[in-house]
């Protein structure tokens, strides 16, 4: 994102009589009220202007078009009528550039005037191009060669309805995953859409885990929570004390809930644990990361969880507090030649200086990580996006 993008983002700043509010990030200006902003888009001529300007946008910035060029690209009969529609977009979605200072051209555009998209205009134009608001994709069931994390069935199936992909098991009739996927993604990848969905949400989850919302750029907070009633109903009875990770944007409210294990897939200790054994954790889909993963609740007030991965008899244990911070990592091995290295790998990884002392105590290491004591790291996941 360019510095221009940041400066022109239409952030709601309601303090002050002029709709502006100084903050540590700079001056925040409310460009328009939400109702007015969306009303301005309620015409095909206006959305066509955004599309025309977007087609002229280069990868390195913005490109402008003159009034005449925009008019010729439209189906409007008169310049006066076109000028009216263009003015409805001015400020929120387009801006005039290279206009003479102090001229009287507000009612009659001149040949020298150019127009370019604002940050909001580019966002809307991209969504139009992607069909986010205009297309719905329902894709028939596709077989997945991955076992169900809840029963002994060796395959799952994925289908989309209204741009939401559901991965489920026909054996136990449980929903494993339920996540939105843009229509352009479903259209572009055909029967391979499950693989695209996996990569798409891995990146989204990684950004949220890093504290940045993939939708609006706002701050994301993480916490351990009890499963929602819908998810709890899908879990087997032996998972009664199961908890989930919740990642929520403090600005736009985008929320994702998933197994704690999924938030650790890109943790450096996990990545190296797999690579040391000639494997890649990315090879496993998010709907079933593998039977080698297990989770166990260590404390309920506050929540704390131990996540264990066992490969070839070697064990990696990560201790997670209520803020989803990894407070300790332990590795053990059955190879006596690696005992010294395994011991040196037992490190405290304080990722959140602000965490409560009680959280650290609740997530303190157990004498010996016990995979059998954990619960299967099922992939029941949902997203509010």
Q: Which of 72, 103, 130 is the endpoint of a domain? A: 130
The CA-CA-CA angle for residues 384, 309, 342, to 5°, reads 135
Among candidate residues 332, 333, 331, 325, the one with its CA nearest the CA of residue 363? 325
Rounded to an integer, the average pLDDT of 327-338 is 80
Instruction: Confirm whether 230 is domain-assigned.
Output: no
Query: Which tokens belong to 385?
Result: 């996006």
Tell me: pLDDT of 311 over 70.
yes
Residue 332 included in any domain: yes
- Domain membership of residue 51 (yes or no) is yes
Residue 293 lies in domain:
262-377
Residue 363 has pLDDT above 50, yes or no: no
Q: What is the pLDDT of residue 254?
A: 95
Residue 7 reports pLDDT greater than 70: no
Compute the distance between CA of residue 172 and CA of residue 26 in angstroms, rounded to an integer. 54
The answer on pLDDT for 272 being more than 70 is: yes
Contact 378, 149 (CB under 8 A): yes
How far is 330 from 318, CA to CA, in rounded Å?
Answer: 7
Decide if 309 is inside a domain.
yes
Q: What is the pLDDT of residue 274?
A: 95
220 domain-assigned: no
- Of 130, 146, 176, the residue that ends a domain is 130
Contact partners, residue 63, CB within 8 Å, separation at least 6: 53, 56, 57, 116
Residue 16 has pLDDT above 60, yes or no: no
In-domain check, residue 208:
no
Mean pLDDT value across residues 2-30: 48
pLDDT of residue 64: 87
What is the DSSP annotation of 65-88? EEHHHHHHTS--S-HHHHHHHHHH
Res 72: pLDDT: 95
| Boundary-marking domain end, from 100, 130, 160 | 130
| CATH code where residue 102 lies | 1.10.10.10
> Per-residue confidence at 346, pLDDT binned at 50, 70, 90?
very low
What is the pTM assigned to this prediction? 0.75
| Ranges 260-264, 277-281, 369-373: which has the least confidence | 369-373
Task: Confirm if 117 and 94 have CB atoms less than 8 A apart.
Answer: yes
**Residue 93 lies inside a defined structural domain of this protein:** yes
Interatomic CA distance for residues 338 and 96, integer angstroms: 67
17 within domain boundaries: yes
Instruction: Give the per-residue pLDDT at 380.
Output: 53
pLDDT bin (cut points 50, 70, 90) of residue 359 is very low
With 70 as the cut, is the pLDDT of residue 17 above it? no
Comparison of pLDDT for 172 and 99, the residue scoring more:
172
**Band of residue 27 on the pLDDT scale cut at 50, 70, 90:** confident
Name the domain count of the chain. Answer: 2
């Amino acid at each position: 994102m360019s510095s221009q993008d940041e400066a022109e983002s239409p952030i709601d700043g309601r303090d002050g009589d002029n709709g502006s509010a100084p903050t540590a990030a700079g001056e925040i200006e409310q460009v328009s009220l939400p109702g007015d902003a969306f009303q301005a888009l309620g015409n095909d001529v206006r959305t066509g202007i955004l599309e025309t300007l977007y087609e002229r946008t280069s990868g390195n910035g913005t490109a402008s078009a003159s009034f005449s060029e925009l008019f010729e690209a439209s189906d409007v009969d008169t310049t006066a009528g076109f000028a009216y529609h263009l003015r409805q977009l001015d400020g929120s979605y387009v801006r005039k550039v290279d206009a003479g200072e102090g001229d009287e051209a507000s009612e009659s555009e001149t040949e020298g005037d150019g127009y370019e998209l604002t940050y909001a205009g580019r966002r809307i134009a991209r969504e139009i191009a992607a069909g986010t608001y205009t297309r719905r994709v329902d894709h028939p069931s596709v077989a997945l060669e991955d076992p169900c994390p809840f029963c002994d069935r060796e395959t799952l199936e994925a289908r989309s309805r209204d741009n939401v992909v559901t991965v489920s098991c026909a054996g136990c009739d449980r929903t494993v995953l339920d996540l939105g996927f843009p229509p352009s993604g479903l259209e572009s990848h055909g029967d391979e859409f499950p693989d695209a969905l996996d990569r798409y949400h891995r990146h989204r989850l990684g950004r949220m885990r890093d504290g940045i919302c993939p939708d609006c750029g706002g701050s994301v907070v993480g916490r351990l929570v009890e499963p929602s009633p819908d998810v709890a109903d899908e879990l087997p009875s032996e998972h009664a004390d199961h908890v989930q990770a919740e990642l929520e944007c403090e600005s736009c409210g985008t929320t994702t809930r998933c197994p704690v294990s999924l938030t650790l897939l890109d943790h450096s200790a996990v990545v190296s644990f797999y690579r040391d054994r000639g494997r890649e954790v990315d090879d496993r889909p998010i709907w079933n990361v593998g039977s080698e993963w297990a989770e166990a609740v260590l404390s309920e007030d506050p929540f704390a969880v131990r996540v264990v991965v066992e490969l070839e008899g070697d064990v990696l244990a990560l201790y997670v507090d209520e803020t989803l911070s990894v407070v300790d990592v332990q590795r053990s091995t059955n190879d006596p030649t690696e005992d010294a290295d395994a011991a040196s790998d037992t490190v405290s990884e304080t990722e959140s200086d602000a965490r409560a002392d009680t959280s650290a105590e609740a997530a303190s290491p157990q004498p010996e990580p016990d995979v059998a004591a954990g619960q299967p790291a099922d992939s029941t996941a949902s997203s509010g996006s």
